Structure 1
Amino acid sequence: MTLGPNDAAADWASDNVAEAVKHEELAALAEEILTAYRTGEPIEPLRDRVADFGLAEAYYVQTEQLKHFLAAGETLAGHKVGLTSLAMQQQLGVDEPDFGFFLKTMVHYDGATLPADDFISPKVEPEFGFVLTEDLEGPGVTVEQAKAAIGKIYPAIEIIDSRIRDWDIKLVDTVADNASCGAIAVSKTPLNVTVDELSEVQCTLRINGEAKVSGTGAAVMGDPIAPLAWLANTLGAQGVSLKAGQLILPGSFTKALPVVSGEEATADFGELGSLTIAFS
């Protein structure tokens, strides 16, 4: 049977109504996460609450939050790539990276003391912090092009946090929740290292001075430049480019460790440098 013009128009209208309804449902999930930011009260997992909730839908929820923050006058400071190490993928039961954003108000520096109560269930990860000296616009960005775009390289710590209750997350949950980003700490003193040495660099995560876990740059997708190229290409497919001056965190050397009030966390790069923050 061949559809007539009225039938085709009805199908088109039905599809558009369904899409509009789904966007309303996704916007409502974004609002729940924004409320969790404000109240500190976690929400239930998102993965089964909207039909066909895949990665595209999860990133839609994340983007709605970014739009909200920018409309409120916040400034985008950079992006983070998450779940790039085998340790983190095993910890959260996923097999691919994700990405999120962080705002200028989320960035802290050497010696900062962060109230633990500002987070729901914080954990820390030691990372590199790349400051870009030129734009990267994918798709098609190579590792060599990404490498050439990196200026200074800093010790960094990401404070991950979950607005999802009890860290009960699958990949789509953490993506929707801005890749579980809570805050960023970055040193004001760059590491004495070149981009060609990054895979060999070792970093130890210390809690109250005690070494807990260690890893090398090679733990970050085999080469910590690779997540930067992946991010540029993934965002580029959405029409978004990485900008010169932005800070990019390419992923953790180790698994994440929980922190509580009264503890210090250090990303210790040995003789290359370090970064310490405290929680009150």
Structure 2
Amino acid sequence: MTQAPQTGAAEWASNHSSEAPRSELIKRLADELLVATESLVPVPPLRDRVLNMTVEDSYQIQDAQLQHHLAKGRVLAGRKVGLTSLAMQKQLGVDSPDFGYFFADMVHHEDAQIPADSFISPKVEPEFGFILKETLTGPGVTREQAAAAIGEVYAAIEIIDSRVEDWNIKLVDTVADNASCGAIAVGTTPLDVRIEDLAEVECSLIIDGEKVATGKGSAVMNDPVAPLAWLANVLGEQGVSLEAGQLILPGSFTGAMPVVKNSTATADFGELGSLKINFS
């Protein structure tokens, strides 16, 4: 297995001198995470090896990886908003959301057999999946405009994974690491629910037949549509739109739960339906 590149704290501190352009540091960190994604060999926390690392630095590292993948021909399928629930913010010790991306080859469906060894240390989160029927371009997107842009709502599960050792992450680490996105599973039959009722929908996360967590849509920033508007506006400031047809995951109902080989995970929306996936 290829060893991911690792650099000592002293060298990274030196690289933050005026002799090393910021863009060079961004590229080196992005390359390190790209190698870790392929090798499944995690890297030490970025925050410990870069002086004064900012969230803006992290998003540049994330975007450098996105551009690399797009240049290789991968197809962007959608975006995810993370850290929208109090449970997840407490779990990771942060107080603000983040976002990432996923490609068409990362999207699975009902009863998928997903190789557990394609991840480092996977966890699952139950979510809504929004298919956009209209393009959203911020800044200035309102909650009402975001709601009107949602075409269908599906049951979804995000598989999160960290290319940072032992899930030892703070906000700058997870943002740089594509918001810890590993893969996405989404149902094939829309949930029969009104957009205005999403906050009251209850979902349980079931692992190997055992209910391990339950939450309501209101756990997602008090309103699952709010992260969609937030994302459209943040990306809009960068000149990026959320395109019609894209899949958007607004955030988890519950804290993330680990899975291993031969596990099953189900997002159970009660009478609205469910989504089950398998880790082979």
TM-score, with length taken from structure 2? 0.93
Instruction: Tell me if 1:100 matches 2:100.
Output: yes
User: 1:52: Cα distance to partner?
Assistant: 2.3
**How many Å separate the matches in 1 of 2:205 and 2:31?**
34
**How many Å separate the matches in 2 of 1:98 and 1:83?**
6
Q: 1:35 corresponds to which residue? A: 35
**How many Å separate the matches in 1 of 2:236 and 2:89?**
24
Q: 2:215 corresponds to which residue? A: 215
**How many Å separate the matches in 2 of 1:56 and 1:197?**
35
Instruction: Tell me if 1:269 matches 2:264.
Output: no
Q: 1:248 corresponds to which residue? A: 248
**How many Å separate the matches in 1 of 2:116 and 2:274?**
21
The amino acid that maps onto 2:171 is L
Larger Cα-atom Rg: 1
The amino acid that maps onto 1:272 is L
Q: 1:119 corresponds to which residue? A: 119
- Runs (4+) of structure 1 exceeding 4 A deviation are 17-20
The amino acid that maps onto 2:58 is A
1:37-64 per-residue CA deviation (whole Å, 9 max, x = no partner) reads: 1111000000132232101000000000
Provide closer, same or farther for how the CA distance between residues 49 and 204 of structure 1 changes in structure 2, counting only shifts above 3 A: same
Q: 2:83 corresponds to which residue? A: 83
Q: 1:258 corresponds to which residue? A: 258
Matches within 5 A, 1:98-177: 98-177=98-177
Q: 1:184 corresponds to which residue? A: 184
Q: How many residues align?
A: 264
Percent of paired sites with the same residue? 65
Aligned to 1:63, what secondary structure does the other structure show? helix
User: 1:22: Cα distance to partner?
Assistant: 1.3
Q: 1:3 corresponds to which residue? A: none
**How many Å separate the matches in 2 of 1:228 and 1:38?**
30
Matches within 5 A, 1:201-240: 201-240=201-240
The amino acid that maps onto 2:74 is E
Q: 2:14 corresponds to which residue? A: none
Unaligned runs of 5+ in 1: 1-16
**How many Å separate the matches in 2 of 1:95 and 1:222?**
14
In terms of mean alpha carbon deviation, does 166-175 or 49-58 score higher?
49-58
Aligned to 2:129, what secondary structure does the other structure show? strand
**How many Å separate the matches in 2 of 1:116 and 1:36?**
16
**How many Å separate the matches in 1 of 2:112 and 2:34?**
25
Give the alignment's Cα RMSD to 1 decimal: 1.1
Unaligned runs of 5+ in 2: 1-16
Q: 1:9 corresponds to which residue? A: none
